[in-house]
Amino acid sequence: DIQMTQSPSTLSASVGDRVTITCRASQSISSWLAWYQQKPGKAPKLLIYKASSLESGVPSRFSGSGSGTEFTLTISSLQPDDFATYYCQQYKTYLWTFGQGTKVEIK
């Protein structure tokens, strides 16, 4: 199985901050990586696919980069609506696997 490791597990930040979350794969997944946002009591929402492609309707302050085994999700200027938990997911091969999540909290 391909293991996905996110860091940090929790991140405290203020509105307007630039935020970066890292996701590492245990083996190369090329660019077969997605990022999801989840708010409490809600279903996950797709933000980024193929490592760096922005899903339609997602604000441009979200961006993704990386390939192979190391990936990042960046929020250029954190907004109140962005406080949530973020997950990466590899879809190179079944079994699909998710990172453990990064909770972005208000500082």
Partner 1 sequence: EVQLVGSGGGLIQPGGSLRLSCAASGFTFTSYAMSWVRQAPGKGLEWVSTISDSGGSTYYADSVKGRFTISRDNSKNTVYLQMNSLRAEDTAIYYCANKSPLEFLQHWGQGTLVTVSS
- Write each residue from 32 to 71 as x if it is in contact with partner 1 (CB under 8 A), else as -, in one continuous string: x-x-x-x---xxxxx--xx----x----------------
- Out of 29, 71, 78, 99, point to the residue binding partner 1 (CB under 8 A): 99
Please answer whether residues 67 and 56 qualify as being in contact, where contact means their C-beta atoms are separated by less than 8 angstroms: no
Closest distance between partner 1 and the C-beta of residue 80, in Å? 23
DSSP 46: E
Closest distance between partner 1 and the C-beta of residue 96, in Å? 4
Please answer whether residues 55 and 47 qualify as being in contact, where contact means their C-beta atoms are separated by less than 8 angstroms: yes
Residue 100 found at the interface with partner 1 (CB under 8 A): yes
Please answer whether residues 14 and 79 qualify as being in contact, where contact means their C-beta atoms are separated by less than 8 angstroms: no
Which residues, including other chains, have CB under 8 Å from residue 66's CB and lie 6 or more apart?
23, 31, 33, 51, 52, 72
Binding site for partner 1 (CB under 8 A): 32, 34, 36, 38, 42-46, 49-50, 55, 87, 89, 91, 94-101
